[in-house]
């Protein structure tokens, strides 16, 4: 029961993560503070999906192997000879194994989705880093402009004195 509650909680956090994946430029600091928690949630969801994929794959493989052995035994009992391809076709077409195959496929889809979700959080992190770099560059340019404002203003004053009728 505890695992199901954990799974529900992780899925709830993933929905919250998806709702808050984008951010406004005005909220960059807040967005940067949220990113580690979002990455943790995405990684935890990925772990859960990997676990489920492995569990579903193992279940499918064990059921398929058991079914394959039954098919081989039934063929041997009546004297039929089946090739491995014929046995594989019977396993694939078996309605009894279909729910396991579907569960395996859904688990693989969820695992791929979880991978994309982790990548989306990484893209968000990279965007925030680029914004931070741009802001640092802008601040450095503004500092350089402010540092050179005095000499530029003095030069303008000299030009006005020398050429009083023209604006420099």
**CA-to-CA distance for 70 and 111, rounded, in angstroms?**
31
Residue 165 belongs to a domain: no
- Residue 167's pLDDT band (cuts 50, 70, 90): low
**What pLDDT score does 168 carry?**
46
Domain that holds residue 27: 2-120
Give 107-163 pLDDT, tens digit per residue: 999 999 999 999 999 998 998 888 888 888 888 888 878 887 888 888 888 888 888
| pLDDT at position 1 over 70 | no
Residue 95 belongs to a domain: yes
Residue 31 belongs to a domain: yes
Query: Domain total for the chain?
Result: 1
Give 66-93 pLDDT, tens digit per residue: 999 999 998 889 988 888 898 889 888 8
Residue 23, judged by CB atoms within 10 A of its CB (0-12, 13-18, 19+), counts as: middle
Q: Which two tokens stand for residue 85?
A: 């391809």
Residue 133 belongs to a domain: no
Residue 161 belongs to a domain: no
**CA-to-CA distance for 121 and 18, rounded, in angstroms?**
9
Residue 66 belongs to a domain: yes
- Residue 24's pLDDT band (cuts 50, 70, 90): confident
**What pLDDT score does 64 carry?**
92
What contacts 90, CB < 8 A, 6 or more positions away? 67, 68, 71, 82
């Amino acid at each position: 029961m505890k695992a199901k509650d954990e799974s529900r909680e992780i899925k709830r956090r993933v929905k919250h993560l998806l709702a808050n994946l984008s951010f406004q430029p005005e909220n960059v600091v807040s967005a940067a503070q949220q990113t580690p928690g979002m990455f943790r949630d995405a990684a935890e969801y990925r772990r859960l999906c990997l676990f489920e994929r492995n569990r579903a794959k193992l279940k499918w493989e064990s059921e398929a192997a058991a079914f394959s052995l039954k098919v081989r035994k039934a063929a041997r009992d009546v004297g039929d000879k089946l090739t491995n391809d014929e046995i594989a076709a019977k396993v694939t077409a078996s309605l009894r194994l279909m729910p396991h195959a579907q569960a395996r496929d859904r688990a693989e889809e969820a695992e791929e989705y979880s991978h994309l979700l982790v990548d989306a959080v990484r893209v968000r992190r990279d965007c925030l880093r680029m914004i931070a770099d741009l802001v640092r560059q802008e601040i450095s340019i503004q500092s350089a402009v402010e540092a050179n404002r005095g000499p530029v203003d003095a030069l303008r004053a000299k030009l006005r004195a020398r050429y009083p009728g023209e604006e420099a």
